[in-house]
Amino acid sequence: MKRLSGSDQIFLSLETPEWHQHIAGLTVLDPSDSDDFGFEKVLDHLERRLDLAPKFRWKLKNVPFGLDRPGWVEAEDFDLARHVKRIGVPAPGGAHEIAELLNQILTPQLNRRIPLWEFWYVDGLAHGRVAFVLKFHHALLDGVAGSSLATVLADLSPDADHPPVPDDLPTAGRAPSDAELIARSVIPNARTPFRIARYVGEAANRGLAMLQYRRTHDDAPPVTGIPRTRWNQSIGPRRATAFTSVSFEDLRRLRKEHDVKINDVVLAMVGGALRAYLEGHDELPEESLLVGVPISTRADDDTELDNKIANMTVSLATDETDPVERLRRIHRNSQAAKEMTEAMRARRIQSIGETAPPLMLNLAVRALHDTGAAAAMPTVMNAVVSNVPGPPFPLYFAGARITGMYPGSVIVEGMGLNITVLSYMDRIDIGLTSDPELVPDLWHMAELLPAALEELMQASGLGPATGVVDAFGN
């Protein structure tokens, strides 16, 4: 059995009927150049490629009574048919219709008795397109690992041969008996009070270090006085998604023009869109919005499919009217946030998922959920904006050309908006996820993202934004 990491355990413990912890990515395909493309070919392709991603054949093995972290074990009863679904999108089969379908796929939780993923084959799209949705639990892998999974499932050409299966792929091992797992948990549980004491001490030291850092760095991101928006409320079980795309070349030109990072340009585009959205609803706060930005902690040569992420908070300068000055401020804010994150990470602190057994974590999360205490907590950030690097070259799936990849991600209590961008070839595909009760007009927010990029391009003297080929064939 391969024991879960503390971070993976947190994703499991945080899950409630409303607080989902799964991710779903929509991939659009153009099979027009593949004469034999179809559902059966996709099934055969998927079954062969899963041999290269053995983690997708692992399932959870819980320790009785939540005495210790669960582990991954080989699913001896693995059946691909339990994970693959086929569904048609309603006419006319455009982006809005498939988004409604994705909303339905995102809403229910995954079955924890089998490997934590689903594959939905979607046909009936306009212009002869098809699509698939890969839904997986965050405990299984993070966004960067999910993006690298594309190199396993996809090919560089439409007629590529299936790659050979390496001999050294990881295995989860056998499933121990419940009695064995209980016996194994005795010593770790005996050490729990010492781990908690150490965690409290490490957390206090990090807190003091943060206070000291903020006293000596005026540009450190704020931790108080963060405004609430309409999506900074309690979330329900339903999900809403929307998509858009922009030119990657435009982001590169802005990066070069202003000597900033690509991620700064992404945040400036998001900041401009959120400012315009709230202004249009007469809800723009005087204080700037603050977003969480996940950052990968994996090494460049790390290809393991697991969670290796940290988080930094960045002010979006939404109190700034000038888009160019907003970008400059975001660049400075990002640099300051990165420096503070690195300074805090230098003071190591054990994950709470490694400190407390699942029984304690689950009870704590349930108390926060059932009492509404989580929703009453002060706002620490307004949204999550994640920038996932994707392949700069065209990919093919079972012979069909991939035309677009749109992420759908996790929203959390009090922070019901996630914007994830994924680079692919010369485009940036953007997926927005929210609760429809909090943001009923999410497509309007999505439309404001290219508009914000256009505004920044014009204000920078770079002319109009570059058009992007529509992934859905329009």
In this structure, the dihedral spanned by the alpha carbons of residues 342, 20, 222 and 266, taken in order and rounded to 10 degrees, is 70
**Three-state SS for 181?**
helix
Count of beta carbons in the 10 Å neighbourhood of residue 214: 15
For residue 138, indicate whether it is catalytic.
yes
3-class DSSP assignment, residue 359: helix
The torsion region of residue 93 among left (phi > 0), alpha (psi -120 to 50) and beta comes to left
C-alpha neighbours within 13 Å on the C-beta side of residue 449: 24
Pick left, alpha or beta for residue 65 (phi over 0 → left; psi -120 to 50 → alpha; otherwise beta): left
Strand duo 417-424 + 383-388: pairing: parallel
**Nearest to 139, CA basis, from 19, 17, 22:** 22
The values of phi and psi at residue 312, to 5°, are -130, 155
Main-chain phi, psi angles of 11, to 5 degrees:
-60, -35
Distance CA 156, CA 34 (A): 14
Strand-pairing partners, residue 65, are: none
**Closest Cα to residue 141, out of 305, 21, 3?**
305
Catalytic residue among 20, 83, 137, 138: 138
Sheet holding 417-424, edge to edge: 240-247, 427-434, 417-424, 383-388, 290-296, 309-315
Report CA dihedral (67, 71, 73, 78) to the nearest 10 degrees. 90
In the 8-state DSSP scheme, what is residue 463?
A: -
> Which strands, in side-by-side order, build the sheet including 130-137?
84-88, 117-123, 130-137, 22-30, 400-408, 396-397
The H-or-E segment that residue 471 falls in is none
Task: Give catalytic residues, as residue numbers.
Answer: 138
